[in-house]
Structure 1
Amino acid sequence: MKYKLYANDSRHPAVHRKGLIYITIVAFILCGILTLNAQTLTLRSQLNFPGTFHTDVWGYVDPNTGNEYAILGDASSSSGFAVVDVTDPDNPFQVSSVTSVPGFDVKVWDHYVYTVNGGGNGMGGIVDIADPNNPQPVGNFPSSHNIFISDDGYLFLESPGIRIYDLNTTPENPSIVWSGGSEGHDATVIGDRFYDFHGITGTNIYDISTISNPQLLVTIQDPTITYHHSGWPTEDGQFLYICDELAHGSQPDITVWDISNINNPQKVDQFVDPNAIVHNLQIVGNYAYVSYYTAGFRVFDVSQPSQTTLVDEYDTNQSSGESFGGAFGVYALSPSGNIFVNDWDNGLFVFSFGSPTGTNTNSPSHHQPQKFLLSQNYPNPFNPSTTIAYQIPSESHVTLTIYNALGQPIRTLVNEQKSVGGYTINWDGKDNRGRPLGTGFYFYQIKAGEFTDSKKMLKVE
């Protein structure tokens, strides 16, 4: 495999996989430019719906079955969204669709999908997906260009202006709690920080400790940014990545800001692709997952924000150039660790990202779950290893134990205090003494506070 790197300043050469410079791993090592990261991006599957204008993508986990779903927005004339079962990432399949609501931007909270039409007119839709095979439209709210839902159940609408709705009491008929501004474009809300990417005027960061009275902390402006389109903070909240959808030529597509001193943000890095424009990103752990329009899907290492590095990429689209099209939406918050990309023309791409041996992280995702959940392992049946995903909505002491068919404990995978989040962990098919186990049924059980659940899996030779 060849690794590519973009110019983030004069220290690095700009490269791009469509017609520019390719440099091998050996060349990078000899030049001292890149430390090889063992993480790799793997395409698991693709599912297309011809005639559909694919837009945003989000995820949903059925708390009753543990099945994972991708919610795919559609901004074509038929509009709406599709519900795709991605529990088996190698074999996704559509289970239902809704065409009576707009589908430009889609988000999920609890068992509801909230959608808007990308403009400021008309109404957004609310659809109950408690039964993913039979979604039910149940309500609406004023539409907008973009929406985001905080983990504690507040719906943020961007453009025209900013509006915040409370979903906790009446999710099918949300009530407005605050409004302000006249423009806006995109929102990201993590904890008590609201990041308002406000187009040509800058990026506003608010303290929303009191949701009905947001306090503006700072506005980030920079002459190299044409349009503050979207972005995401690092997990520690110390850095902010801002995407400029209208950057062209030598303008930076993404700028990196040190916001540890909120009163004095400092730009610490930037990167440029003169042959493509960026759309959206999400940061989970040490990686940024980016939908980069015609350049496809890209993954960056953000463990050192001042030296952000391209790790891997996948071209989802046949188009090229600084134009709209290609990879539109990206969702990297699923408990399984799988990543969903919705390509304008080519539909859903399901990726896994990890080490070549398939070992997954045992650190929390940035997304705050609302329920305890133990998912079915994947693959199942398996040989020699499998991955187990779980999520906890409150800090808990977690044990995750493997049992044989006789109910005897044979391997402890987790036994420690865990913070709120979604986790994945790999079981290598061995017992506590490192001995490989034979073919047969095994059970895994989670205990987290008062929550207990178990599932069955099959190891084959």
Structure 2
Amino acid sequence: MKSIKYLFCTAFCSLLLLFTVGSSCAQQADDYQIVVSPESLKLQMDETAQLSATLQGANGNVVQDSVLFYSRDRTSVSVSQTGKVKALQPGTFELQAVAMSPDSNRINKSIQVVVSYPPITAISFQDLPKQLYANSKIPVKLSATDAKNMSREDAQIQLSSSDPAVASINEFDQLYAQKPGSVTITAKTADVTAQQEIKIVENPVTDIQLQNDAQNTRSGDVVHFDAQPLDASGEVVNDLPVEYTFTAQPDDNLGEGTSGQIKDDGRFVANKPGLYTIVARAGNVSAENTIRVDARDIQKELEVVGHGLVSDVHTSDLWVWEGVDGRDYAITGTWGGNGETYFWDVTDPANMSIIDTVTVDARTVNDVKISEDGRIGVITREGASDRKNGIVILDVSDPRNVSIISEYTRGLTGGVHNSFIYQDHVFAVNNGRRYDIIDISDPENPATVSRFELDTPGHSIHDVWVENGIAYSSNWDDGIVAVDVGSTPNAQSPEQHSTGVGSLKNPVKLGSYSYPSGWNHAAFPFKSKSTDDFYVIAGDEAFPNGLFVHDKPTIPAGWIHFVKFEDGWDNPKEVARYQVPEAGTHNFWVKDDTLYIAYYNAGLRVVDISGELMGNLYDQGREIAKYVPTHHEGIIPNAAMTWGPQPYKGHIFVSDWNSGIWALKLED
């Protein structure tokens, strides 16, 4: 069953707040119930159906027929407010019907939707050689395609060998070449079959030469091992697969845990200090090499320099900048309030104070951005009383006397959740579906110049970040999407990351990367100063335990994904992660090979991301420092819900949903 990742589609979207947060706050009325017809659905992909529903009293009389529908996974099964359902992806999903009773209680009803998988129509072997050496082992990789031309990783495929004495296959789909001879490998599922003949020949390997690029290293550093199988004459046998394993002897005896990781290309990373012996095996021949791994030993303390408490409303995002007068300022938004935006003087971080407040017609000012020259501010609006949401453009040249230049709502009435300012243009995430690119070079007369929207079923978007003419958007199920909006050759490194094919008026998609959870909430491009490798860092957001606004702490889920673009935009690879147990991420920032993460209930995390990245950085001692901001007078007392970090002039400024703005400093 596919996970319910759109419990809060855009995390703090006010529409879903009504539907989902209300479920923990409003008491269900026993005297009323929603009656839905049909009560459940079984559909084929792309099939549609119509639901109808009424709100009935205890006596079965219809009280009202104004029942609304919504989907908890709209990329897989969509539903209109009036109940028109469309099956988009196979699996089992849940729709919700919701209505307000005459006594002002919210009534819910769940509707299960089962979408059938299309039949498998083709199976093929992936890179299975036609000749193998005896005493070698390789995984058998298969691909399956169904009637909708979808790749089916869930397909149950049976593998068999025509002669197990020559080549056998175990329950993990690994093929063992036993002795010279010929054999036919068969893959079968339902009525579809694929076959491939393989010839097993004598294994010529008599020795293995094993080398590596470091004998002494630190936890978290990637060591490259290179094993070359040799025949009796000393020639390299290039077409024999090499299998790598390792044994560990940690420095402590407190329980080994997960000590390291090795890839099939010989890359190894240790999580803990100690002695590690890497073993390379080709056929019946093996070689080994032992290395010493020391503790990374980079930990520092975070000092709280200052705190600006906001206890009557939730604090959303922040932005810190140098004003035109040379002083330092911060702007913070508010969530679920009355449309306030606060301006702070943070020149002395130990004595931060609100110096101005701008109030607009909104429930939430989710995102706040300041132009590069420090003169223009943009805030986003959600939940306006007249439903005209959009953006508000501010004159912030004097942060003590901020004024509204203009409001822009054209095509943005569904609400703008996030935004980004780039070259006198605002990228406004519009109604969770696309981003509009708005020219604000004349801030009194903004104008939309283009839009970018995916064409995938049930697509959605949460955030966008623009750098060097490339927009990196976060698109939940569709993952990271890179779009050329005016890049120039060599603007990014390596060279293939720039194309020059798009512009602000003509956005052109370059590539994308998605991952199974579909929780992609934020993205940040990162070129490593230590290796020149180019990554896009993707952050999750998920609330499997619900979002609690007033009564108790929230425990989110998710982690940070490191996606490496080595061979252009068409071949991204997820190479590493940073995952804090029992916590979930929000926004983050990279500066000088250091990652600053607002890890919601786990607070601020500062992480060393220098060098080649592999494995779970949390396990490798790469965490430099952490601070969990809580306050007994917070809107939810003594509970961290850290929203956004920004390193600035030697300090780290952090907004916390429950307690306002914080200024921290890494101790030397």
Q: 1:111 corresponds to which residue?
A: 375
1:290 counterpart = 2:557: no
Is the Cα contact below 8 Å between 2:299 and 2:625 reproduced in 1? no
1:145 counterpart = 2:407: no
- Per-residue CA distance 1:182-224 (angstroms, 9 max, x = gap): 631100111121101111222111111222111111110122x
Is the Cα contact below 8 Å between 2:480 and 2:514 reproduced in 1? yes
- Per-residue CA distance 1:127-174 (angstroms, 9 max, x = gap): 211111111112112341111112x22211112311111222x12332
Q: Which residue of 331, 343, 348 corresponds with 1:83?
A: 343
The letter of the residue matching 1:147 is S
Cα pair distance change 1:283/1:205, threshold 3 Å: same
Deviation at 1:50, TM superposition (A): 1.9
In 1, Cα distance between equivalents of 2:317 and 2:514: 27
Is the Cα contact below 8 Å between 2:539 and 2:561 reproduced in 1? yes
Cα pair distance change 1:94/1:30, threshold 3 Å: farther
Q: Which residue of 653, 660, 667 corresponds with 1:347?
A: 660
In 2, Cα distance between equivalents of 1:33 and 1:160: 48
Cα pair distance change 1:176/1:250, threshold 3 Å: closer
Cα pair distance change 1:75/1:84, threshold 3 Å: same
1:228 counterpart = 2:520: yes
Q: 2:333 corresponds to which residue?
A: 73
In 1, Cα distance between equivalents of 2:582 and 2:629: 15
In 2, Cα distance between equivalents of 1:79 and 1:212: 31
Cα pair distance change 1:34/1:185, threshold 3 Å: farther
Is the Cα contact below 8 Å between 1:101 and 1:124 reproduced in 2? no
1:98 counterpart = 2:370: no
Q: 1:183 corresponds to which residue?
A: 460
Moved over 3 A (4+): 27-34, 118-121, 247-252
Q: 1:264 corresponds to which residue?
A: 571
Is the Cα contact below 8 Å between 2:318 and 2:331 reproduced in 1? yes
Deviation at 1:325, TM superposition (A): 6.3
Q: 2:398 corresponds to which residue?
A: 131
Cα pair distance change 1:345/1:252, threshold 3 Å: closer
TM-score of the two chains, using structure 1 as the length reference: 0.64
The letter of the residue matching 1:141 is Y
In 1, Cα distance between equivalents of 2:314 and 2:543: 23
Is the Cα contact below 8 Å between 2:594 and 2:609 reproduced in 1? yes
Is the Cα contact below 8 Å between 2:377 and 2:395 reproduced in 1? yes
SS of 1:306's partner is coil
Q: 1:215 corresponds to which residue?
A: 508
- Per-residue CA distance 1:268-316 (angstroms, 9 max, x = gap): 1013233111101111111111111111111111113514422111001
Is the Cα contact below 8 Å between 2:594 and 2:607 reproduced in 1? yes
Cα pair distance change 1:325/1:88, threshold 3 Å: closer
- Per-residue CA distance 1:6-34 (angstroms, 9 max, x = gap): xxxxx99xxxxxxxx9xxxxx96568474
Q: 2:630 corresponds to which residue?
A: 317
Deviation at 1:267, TM superposition (A): 0.8
Structure 1, unmatched stretches of 5+, are 6-10, 13-20, 22-26, 357-461
Q: 1:413 corresponds to which residue?
A: none
Q: 2:61 corresponds to which residue?
A: none
The letter of the residue matching 1:84 is W
Cα pair distance change 1:304/1:121, threshold 3 Å: farther
Cα pair distance change 1:148/1:305, threshold 3 Å: farther
Deviation at 1:118, TM superposition (A): 4.5
Deviation at 1:82, TM superposition (A): 0.8
CA-atom RMSD in angstroms: 3.1
Is the Cα contact below 8 Å between 2:474 and 2:520 reproduced in 1? yes
Cα pair distance change 1:184/1:146, threshold 3 Å: same
In 2, Cα distance between equivalents of 1:346 and 1:82: 14
Q: 2:303 corresponds to which residue?
A: 42
Is the Cα contact below 8 Å between 2:381 and 2:392 reproduced in 1? no
SS of 2:613's partner is helix
- Per-residue CA distance 1:66-105 (angstroms, 9 max, x = gap): 1101101112422221111111111111111111254211
Higher relative contact order (CA 8 A, sep 6+): 1
In 2, Cα distance between equivalents of 1:305 and 1:294: 28
The letter of the residue matching 1:326 is M
Deviation at 1:177, TM superposition (A): 1.3
In 1, Cα distance between equivalents of 2:296 and 2:654: 27
Q: 2:139 corresponds to which residue?
A: none
1:156 counterpart = 2:427: yes
Cα pair distance change 1:198/1:325, threshold 3 Å: farther
In 1, Cα distance between equivalents of 2:660 and 2:294: 35
Is the Cα contact below 8 Å between 1:80 and 1:97 reproduced in 2? yes
Is the Cα contact below 8 Å between 1:325 and 1:345 reproduced in 2? yes
Aligned residues: 325
Is the Cα contact below 8 Å between 1:69 and 1:83 reproduced in 2? yes
- Per-residue CA distance 1:31-83 (angstroms, 9 max, x = gap): 8474122654322111102202100000121122x110110111242222111
Cα pair distance change 1:214/1:55, threshold 3 Å: same
Q: 1:419 corresponds to which residue?
A: none
Cα pair distance change 1:301/1:114, threshold 3 Å: same
- Per-residue CA distance 1:234-277 (angstroms, 9 max, x = gap): 14570111001028699851110111322201111013233111
In 2, Cα distance between equivalents of 1:348 and 1:93: 10
1:304 counterpart = 2:611: yes
Q: 2:438 corresponds to which residue?
A: 165
Deviation at 1:343, TM superposition (A): 0.6
Is the Cα contact below 8 Å between 1:269 and 1:305 reproduced in 2? no
Cα pair distance change 1:101/1:148, threshold 3 Å: farther
- Per-residue CA distance 1:298-348 (angstroms, 9 max, x = gap): 1111113514422111001379xxxx961012222x3x2322111111111
Is the Cα contact below 8 Å between 1:317 and 1:346 reproduced in 2? yes
Deviation at 1:228, TM superposition (A): 1.0
Cα pair distance change 1:78/1:33, threshold 3 Å: farther
Larger radius of gyration between Structure 1 and Structure 2: 2
In 2, Cα distance between equivalents of 1:222 and 1:33: 33
Cα pair distance change 1:42/1:30, threshold 3 Å: farther
SS of 2:349's partner is coil
Identity of aligned residues (%): 24
Cα pair distance change 1:328/1:39, threshold 3 Å: same
Structure 2, unmatched stretches of 5+, are 1-218, 221-246, 249-256, 258-270, 276-292, 410-414, 454-458, 487-502, 545-554
